């Protein structure tokens, strides 16, 4: 049995967060291990969703659990190679956070329903509709697969309000790069 993968969060402004993720081609034990580790990190980080670029991987994989609770594992959703087929319903405003932007929250407007085509861990493709908070999480994590970040969805006022925190994240990234850290 292979050793479980250990991931850490990739924080803004790491360049992998701006890349369009690539389709998964191998539906194998490695993918299952990746998903398991992503879910574990999501729970440890007190998140409700996580996309592969947020752990440094350029793969089209996202995981979520709208309860954010490991005990509610029956609510876990894993989407591999997802495509948003349709966004519909009422535009709703909701304050979003992001594990790649610790401590930063901003109001984001998104449709409250979405239709998604994706594969499961076995490569079986299906189409499903999500609504409400789950639809919001799917859209937020899907943005990560497209290289779109919370900062891109913020209003100018929110960007100004979070200017210092965003600059601190950039400074931290530059410091880590110059010291040879990930």
pTM of the model: 0.95
How many distinct structural domains can be found in the chain?
Answer: 1
Residue span of the structural domain in which 119 resides: 15-178
Cα-based distances in Å from 128 to 26, 67, 70, 122:
22, 19, 23, 17
Model confidence band, residue 5 (pLDDT cutoffs 50, 70, 90): confident
Q: According to the model, what pLDDT value does residue 115 have?
A: 99
Give CA angle at 43 (172, 73), nearest 5°.
Answer: 160
88 assigned to some structural domain? yes
105 assigned to some structural domain? yes
Tens of pLDDT along 52-82?
A: 999 999 999 999 999 999 999 999 999 999 9
6 assigned to some structural domain? no
- CATH number of the domain to which 128 belongs: 3.90.45.10
Strands 61-65 and 76-97: antiparallel
141 is catalytic: yes
Active-site choice (127, 141, 167, 168): 141
80 assigned to some structural domain? yes
């Amino acid at each position: 049995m292979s050793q479980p993968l250990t991931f850490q969060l990739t924080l803004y402004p790491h360049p992998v967060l701006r890349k369009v993720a690539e389709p998964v081609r191998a539906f194998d034990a490695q993918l299952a291990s990746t998903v398991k580790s992503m879910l574990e990190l999501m729970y440890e980080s007190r998140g409700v969703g996580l996309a592969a670029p947020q752990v440094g991987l350029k793969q089209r994989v996202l995981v979520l659990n709208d309860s954010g609770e490991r005990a509610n594992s029956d609510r876990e959703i894993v989407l591999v190679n997802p495509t948003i087929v349709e966004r519909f319903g009422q535009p709703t405003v909701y304050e979003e956070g992001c594990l790649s932007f610790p401590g930063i929250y901003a109001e984001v407007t998104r449709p409250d329903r979405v239709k998604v085509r994706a594969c499961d861990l076995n490569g079986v493709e299906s189409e499903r509709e999500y609504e409400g908070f789950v639809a919001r999480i799917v859209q937020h994590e899907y943005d990560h697969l497209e290289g779109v970040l919370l900062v891109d969805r913020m209003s100018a006022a929110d960007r100004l309000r979070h200017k210092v925190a965003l600059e601190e994240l950039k400074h931290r990234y530059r410091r880590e790069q110059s010291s040879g850290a990930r």
